[in-house]
Amino acid sequence: MTLIRRILLRLLTMAITLFGVAVIVFFVIRVVPGNPIAMMLPPGAGEEDIARLKALYGLDKTIPEQFVIWLSGVLHGDFGTSITTRQPVLGLVLSRLPATIELSVMALVVAVIIGGALALTGTRRRGTRTEGAIDVANGMALSVPDFLWGLVLILLFGVLWPVFHISGRVSPALDLPFSTNFYLFESVLRLRFDIWADLVSHMFMPSLALAIPLAAIIAQLLKQSLKETMNLDYVTLARTKGYGENHVITREALPNAVLPTLTLIGVQFTFLIGGTVIIERLFSYEGLGNMAIDAVINRDLPLIQGIVILFALIFTVVNLVVDLTYAALNPRLRHG
């Protein structure tokens, strides 16, 4: 199958997936109890006020009718208006998206660095106490979910040894000369390393909390694949050529051992993004996840829909990228 056909097929699947998600979310949030209008009005508002507001937000129609209206809006780039803030959903969501992307990517990078380093060290020292210690650490990291790591980190770096910022995305006192909300990215481009350091200090704990479980998964799987690969004949042959352990691990074994881990990272990265919802809340980080929780509390139906669709879009795009990377790295798929 050619690359183009492969991509087209995936795009089609993505569209179907997104539609399915939209349908489910739309109906579920309208069926569960909780009335967005009631929450907006002052106590003692009359039936008339309620009816008027309902009509304003289109909530007086049947659910299928509402869906058709919403969907045709979406297809024209209009995701509706947030009930609580009365601003367009799309603008709200897009303003928060960069914060979540930066946090997730940072967490992913941290996870890959820590997990990769542990896997390589464990392989290099296989059969020794170092490997045993790595296995124990992995087990611990995996048996505790990310938000509990968040609490542990707050205790460590917020209370006992307060060197990092506990809450928020950036110190309010700082003047931000940025034209996008990709603060971290822009601070590097504009060489504002003072701001960059402040951002990193804020991101340190949330990204580490998100990264720890993924790092453990990467370390475990990659180490296992590496150790299996190390016994293969071409690795032995490389040793007879005069290569040492480090070269053999990184140059001969790693490129072949990394593929299963890569696929797994793709799947796990979507879980990590899901984890941002609670982690952002825990650290009052102004991202999409934090906004999602507010939206649910306020029963802000259009905003919930917008956020969920965006999350679903991110997940499917991540999966597509992983698939294509996998194909690019594996010569057998590339030429087969």
Partner 1 sequence: MSFLTIENLSAFVGPAPILRDVSLTVTAGEVRGLVGESGAGKSMIGKAVLGTLPPAVRVASGRIVLEGEDLLAMRPRDRRRVIGARAALIPQDPLTALNPSRRVGPQITNRLVDILGWTRHDAQVRALELLDEVHIPEPERVMRAYPHELSGGMRQRILIASAFAAEPRLIIADEPTTALDVTVQKQILRLIREMQARHGTALLFVTHDLGVVSKICQSLTVLYGGKVLEDTRVGDFFAGPTHPYSAALLAATPKYTDPDASLTPVPEAVIDGVRAEIEAFDRMHGHV
Euclidean distance between CA atoms 186 and 54, whole angstroms:
42
Question: Which sign does the torsion angle of CA 38, 43, 45, 47 carry?
Answer: positive
One of 238, 293, 296, 313 touching partner 1 (CB under 8 A) = 238
**Least distance CB 256 / partner 1 (angstroms):** 5
Applying CB under 8 A, does 247 fall inside the site for partner 1? yes
Distance CA 279, CA 151 (A): 10
Q: Which residues contact 162 (CB under 8 A, 6 or more apart)?
A: none
Of 252, 280, 286, 300, the one binding partner 1 by CB under 8 A: 252
224 binds partner 1 (CB under 8 A): no
From the list 237, 267, 317, 328, which residue makes contact with partner 1 (rule: CB under 8 A)? Answer: 237
Restricting to residues 119-158, which ones interact with partner 1 according to CB under 8 A? 127
Query: Phi and psi at residue 296, in whole multiples of 5°?
Result: -70, -45
CA distance 114 to 65: 50
Contacts of 38 (CB under 8 A, 6+ apart): 50
Residue choice 54, 124, 125, 239 for contact with partner 1 (CB under 8 A): 239
Q: Is residue 201 a contact residue for partner 1 (CB under 8 A)?
A: no
Stretch that binds partner 1, among 14-22, 36-44, 271-279, 328-336 (CB under 8 A): 328-336
Q: Taking the CA atoms of 267, 268, 269 and 272 in sequence, report the sign of the dihedral they define.
A: positive
Nearest distance, CB of residue 111 and partner 1, angstroms: 24
Q: How far is CA 216 from CA 99, 176, 268, 291, 306, in A?
A: 25, 36, 11, 29, 33
> Whole-number minimum distance, CB 151 to partner 1, in Å?
41
The residue range among 85-93, 102-110, 249-257, 314-322 that interacts with partner 1, by the rule CB under 8 A, is 249-257
Q: Are 79 and 88 in contact (CB under 8 A)?
A: yes
**Among 232, 262, 296, 324, contact with partner 1 (rule: CB under 8 A):** 232
Q: Does 332 bind partner 1 (CB under 8 A)?
A: yes
244 binds partner 1 (CB under 8 A): yes
Contact stretch for partner 1 (CB under 8 A) within 75-83, 209-217, 234-242, 295-303: 234-242
Nearer to partner 1, 9 or 328 (CB): 328
Where are the alpha helices (H) located in the chain, listed in sequence order? 3-31, 36-40, 47-56, 63-75, 89-124, 129-143, 146-153, 183-189, 193-230, 233-240, 245-247, 254-282, 288-297, 301-329, 331-335
Asked if 130 and 121 touch (Cβ cutoff 8 Å), the reply is yes
Q: How far is the CB of 241 from partner 1 (least distance, A)?
A: 4
Q: How far is the CB of 249 from partner 1 (least distance, A)?
A: 13
Binding stretches for partner 1 (CB under 8 A): 127, 232-234, 236-244, 247, 252, 255-256, 329-332, 335
